[in-house]
Structure formats: structure tokens, C-alpha cells
Amino acid sequence: MITALRGTADILPPATALWQFAEHTARDLFARYGYAEIRTPVFEQTELFVRSIGDTTDIVEKEMYTFADKKGRSLTLRPEGTACVVRACLEHKLFAQARVQKYYYLGPMFRYERPQAGRQRQFHQIGVELFGSYSPLADAEVISLMVRFFEAAGISGLSVNINSLGDADSRAAYRDLLREFIEPKAGQLCPDCQRRIERNVLRVLDCKVPLCKEALEAPGMPTTVSALSGPARAHYQRVLESLTAMGIPFREDARLVRGLDYYTHTIFEVTHTALGAQDAMGGGGRYDGLIEQMGGPATGGVGFALGVERLVIALQHVARKAQQAAKTVYLVSCDEPALAENLVLADALRRAGITALAGYEQQSMKAQLRHANAAGARWAVIRGSDERAQGAVRLKNMETGDEALVPTVALVEKLRETGR
């Protein structure tokens, strides 16, 4: 038997209903903030990711699906969306159209990581990117959008962690502080990190090797916030104030780092206790140098992406599924003619916007009610010769077991009244 590859997954019903719910919630909410959808290819020139994410990051060094095509060009399955959206906007000259641009995307991403619960090699992100503003208000709005999205999806128990890397000056100052701190401990570090001290010392911070993590636990470890320049500190304060004004709870986390090189100023991550070790539901931040570095205008950018697999794990915890299914009506046929009549009735219910399910073969009442339960139906509509004689159906509340005779012509109205 040929099976799906390790780290990839088929997404099957009933989970697909949760995926659709997540996607629908995102589209609906993001549109209210003025974001439009953008769809980019799943593979790009490798160079795009090396230049934007950074050649010393774990993603680029270890996790990319890179291959040569038939003409020998180096291509890579996208490991994230930000670089792709920036590339598309540059290519189609969208930066010239309006100062502020807001895009969202949904789709698969690829990273060669060790698979475990909530961590896959093909996973899915929902993300947004806002281009064209350096304002801390944009950071705050993007963070609030992420939080409001989780609220709209019915997820609570989230923690929003924030930190700032500052501008170019702050980052240079921090790099010096960190190098000073870590150089004497170089012998303890993994070979990759030993190289990183010279090439890109910030990357030591998100190394997953336990020995490297331990070295950073030592007293005196400098924080990025301690190296912020005056303007960078003011930017960060303004973000925090705006979040407070919107009533968004957050936690400042001076140890927060992100695994991509393009970030400046505000960085953030949302975690959830339901997720265990892979607890990051989503993350993002500001990336002011990226667009210019990719050949575009000098302009600010900020965005986030969340992992849909992880969101769905959290949704399963809040039993959103039950709510989805509660609207279903199951049509039960007590005799052969009722099967055909129910096909017509189901058609009428569906055209009236009601989810209606019915069988195609004669089965016992018990078996049909079992199917209704399995489908999570809130109502069963039962019809046989008695009901037919009265031009009616029996409407059974699947929760309470209560039954009432309802004229067939009045059924749609009755179901509407009861909230289906």
C-alpha cells in the first residue's frame, strides 16, 4: 500500500469542517480590516528565501525542500509566506498603487522538520502582511487582528508574548552585547552556533540544541530591550500602550526571539496551553528592511502567520464541531415511498438553507436514528404511512426526545422558528 509521506497528512471529515470554519472566520474578519486575499505559487526560486529569511537560519540551513528542476534551476517549496507576498507585490508593482497595502493568504508551507503532534513537514498557515507604514499603530493593529481572530474562532486561554529587537542601531548594539556574553561559552555550543557567533550571533538565540539553550540560561544574558535606541524604545512603548487601550492582554517576554532574520522592532508570538511542546499558535512582527532589501521602496512592513493544524487542535478542545453539526436535520423513512418523498423534502430544506441528510435504502428506525446521532443532527424528521395520511411529518428533537406532528408544508417555517 502506498501511504502519505511522513510529516504530511490527509485532512478528513469531520476535521475538514473545522478547517473550513477557520478559513471562513479568517476571510470574514480580515476583510473587515481591509485585507484582500493574495495567492502565490507554492514553489519559488531558492534565492528568494535565502535572501529574506537569512542564510544562517535553521529554516534555510536545515529545513527547506530545495531541488533542481529539469533545467537545473534551484527551486524551493515555500517554507513561509512573507517573502512570497513581498516578491509578488514587487513583481506586479503593487507598491506603486497605494501607500498602505494589506494582504492575507491561506495555504500549505513546507519545512523539513522532525514531525510530532502539531509539527509537520507540509503544514498550513493563515497569514497577513501590511506594507507601507512605519507606525507602531500598525503593529498594534496587526497584533489585535491576530487576537481578535482567535476570539472569533472561539479560542480562549491564549498568551500573547511580545518583545522588541529595535532598529538597525539597536540590533547592532545588541549583537555586540550578545557576542561578548557568548564568546567565553563558545566551547559549550553546537558547531552551527560556533559558526553563528561570527556570522550571525542572533541566531544562537533560537537554536534548538539543549546545550546551546543551557548556555543562554547563564546569569548576565543580555536582553534585546536593554539595547534599544531611544526611538526604538519609544516605538515599542507606543505599541504596548495601543494594545492596552484596545484591551488586548499581553506579556512582555525579553527572551522572545523569532527564527527568521528579517524582523526589526516588534516581534510577537501567541501560545496556547492545549498544544503542549509545540505551543506557538502563531507569530509575527515588523520587518522594516525587507522590502527595500528585495529591491523595493524603503517602506515598513508588519504581519503574522498562524499554524492551521495547531488552531484545529485547539478548536477540537472547544468542541466547535458540536456547534457546527447542531444545525443538521436527518430525514427518517418508515417505508419505501417515504424514501423518495424524503429526497424531495431534503431538496426543499436545502434550498431553504437547512442542512438535511437522508438515507437511500430502507433501514430500521433504530438504525436511521443512529445515523442521525452520528451526524450530530439536532432534529429528526420522521415520515411513514400515518404521517402521510395526515399530510404531516413527525419532528423529533434529538436532544430531548420530544416529538410533534408538523404539517409538511409548515416544516421549513417551524425549523426556522426553532433555530433549526
Binding site for ligand HAM (CB under 6 A): 80-82, 111, 113, 118-120, 123, 125, 127, 129, 259, 280-285, 303-307, 309-310
Cβ of residue 168: shortest distance to ligand HAM, in angstroms?
A: 18
Residue closer to ligand HAM (CB basis): 208 or 351: 208
Listed residue (28, 52, 37, 43) closest to 301, CA to CA: 52
Residue closer to ligand HAM (CB basis): 105 or 330: 105
d(CA 180, CA 59): 26
| Alpha helix ranges (H) inside 183-289 | 191-199, 210-217, 230-245
d(CA 399, CA 320): 17
Residue closer to ligand HAM (CB basis): 49 or 174: 49
Cβ of residue 274: shortest distance to ligand HAM, in angstroms?
A: 13
d(CA 216, CA 182): 8
Cβ of residue 302: shortest distance to ligand HAM, in angstroms?
A: 7
Question: Taken in order 408, 413, 415, 417, is the CA torsion positive or negative?
Answer: negative
d(CA 61, CA 54): 9
Cβ of residue 149: shortest distance to ligand HAM, in angstroms?
A: 13
Cell representation of residue 127: 497569514
Listed residue (75, 289, 61, 74) closest to 172, CA to CA: 289
Residue closer to ligand HAM (CB basis): 164 or 328: 164
Cβ of residue 113: shortest distance to ligand HAM, in angstroms?
A: 5
Residue closer to ligand HAM (CB basis): 314 or 398: 314
d(CA 227, CA 173): 6
Count of CB atoms situated within 10 Å of the CB of 321: 16
Q: How far apart, in Å, are the Cα atoms of 370 and each of 355, 359, 363, 364?
A: 17, 12, 11, 10
Cβ of residue 237: shortest distance to ligand HAM, in angstroms?
A: 21
Residue closer to ligand HAM (CB basis): 121 or 420: 121
Prior bond to 14 cis, omega within 30?
Answer: yes
User: CB nearest ligand HAM: which residue?
Assistant: 307
Residue closer to ligand HAM (CB basis): 202 or 306: 306
Cβ of residue 336: shortest distance to ligand HAM, in angstroms?
A: 50
d(CA 115, CA 4): 13
